[in-house]
Amino acid sequence: MKGIHLSMVIGIGVGLASPGAEPLAQRYAERGELIVGPFASAPFPHSARAEGHKYKEEVFSAQDHYSDSTVAIFIPKGFRETGQIDFVVHFHGWRNHVENVLEHYKLIEQLVESGRNAVLIVPQGPRDAADSFGGKLEDPDGFKRFMDEVVKTLREKSALKQKSFRVGRIVLSGHSGGYGVISSILDHGGLTGQVREVWLFDALYGRTDKFLAWISRGEGRLIDIYTENGGTKEETERLMATLKQQEKPFLAARESDHPDLRAQRLIFLYTDLPHDAVVEKRQAFRDYLKTSCLEAISQ
């Protein structure tokens, strides 16, 4: 795919916990409740990858890369139960898996530090593969079915006392290849009207028409952080040029200047960080949470 090159295919290289290692849920127990398990509505397996996938000269088998249906759900300590639950759904990029995404990008730690009253969801995409496909979450209403299962899981397996909650605001966050599934969710996922924010962490490689359509509906905030060499700069600049032509206001700034993230609904941040550092290095995930539409745990 155009623009997806070395920076996108560097593997982080942490495997699943070895026998005797601390279970993933226990690792984060001091910060809240982590539920990890297989979902029927998870991205994979999917018929489009029944024979695996080939990228250039690499072959990614269905068994090794498209059979993991793991989903992680995290409820921060002190979570305030109301009649609705707001969600942040994060989609990882190439050559990654759920356990490593949580560890490497410090998503749980950043959510806790933000103080936002929201539940974090991290579904397994193509496992450790060079692939941006979002599996069942790219199918029509696939995201709605997924969120229905999230709700069912929280009602049956979490420590939440209030079981009659509804799905509230949804934030979609994606790093690198995570843009693909987000674009499909915005276009035909079934819950588009509840998506209040979209965060692209060096992730605008294409499908820009679907992001533009969501922007045109005026339903929420977009933050697009992009790097010099991550492959997203050209597409991001093209999107900004289109918005300017349409006379839609937006903020374009350097991340290092610490712009006001509440100043505009559409925000484009150029960063000097490398591709893999944009989520965690300067606590961007935390800062986007703190300035989001999501309420604080403490009221």
Q: What is the pLDDT along the chain (299 residues), one digit of tens a residue?
A: 433 433 333 333 333 444 445 789 999 999 999 999 999 999 999 999 999 999 999 999 999 999 999 999 999 999 999 999 999 999 999 999 999 999 999 999 999 999 999 999 999 999 999 999 999 999 999 999 999 999 999 999 999 999 999 999 999 999 999 999 999 999 999 999 999 999 999 999 999 999 999 999 987 999 999 999 999 999 999 999 999 999 999 999 999 999 999 999 999 999 999 999 999 999 999 999 999 999 999 86
| Number of other CB atoms surrounding residue 246 within 10 Å | 10
Is 91 within a domain? yes
pLDDT at 128: 98
Is 27 within a domain? yes
pLDDT at 10: 33
CA neighbours closer than 13 Å in the CB half-sphere of residue 47:
1
Cα–Cα distance, 253 to 165 (Å, whole number): 39
Is 211 within a domain? yes
Range of the domain at 180: 22-290
Whether 239 and 208 have beta carbons less than 8 Å apart is answered as yes
3-class secondary structure, 127:
strand
Return the closest-CA partner of residue 205 out of 169, 172, 181: 181
Give the pLDDT confidence of 231-259 residue by residue, as tens digits. 999 999 999 999 999 999 999 999 999 99
Is 10 within a domain? no
Is 11 within a domain? no
Q: Is 207 left (phi over 0), alpha (psi -120 to 50) or beta?
A: left
Is 5 within a domain? no
Number of domains in the chain: 1
CATH assignment at residue 116: 3.40.50.1820
Is 101 within a domain? yes
DSSP state of 62: H
Is 177 within a domain? yes
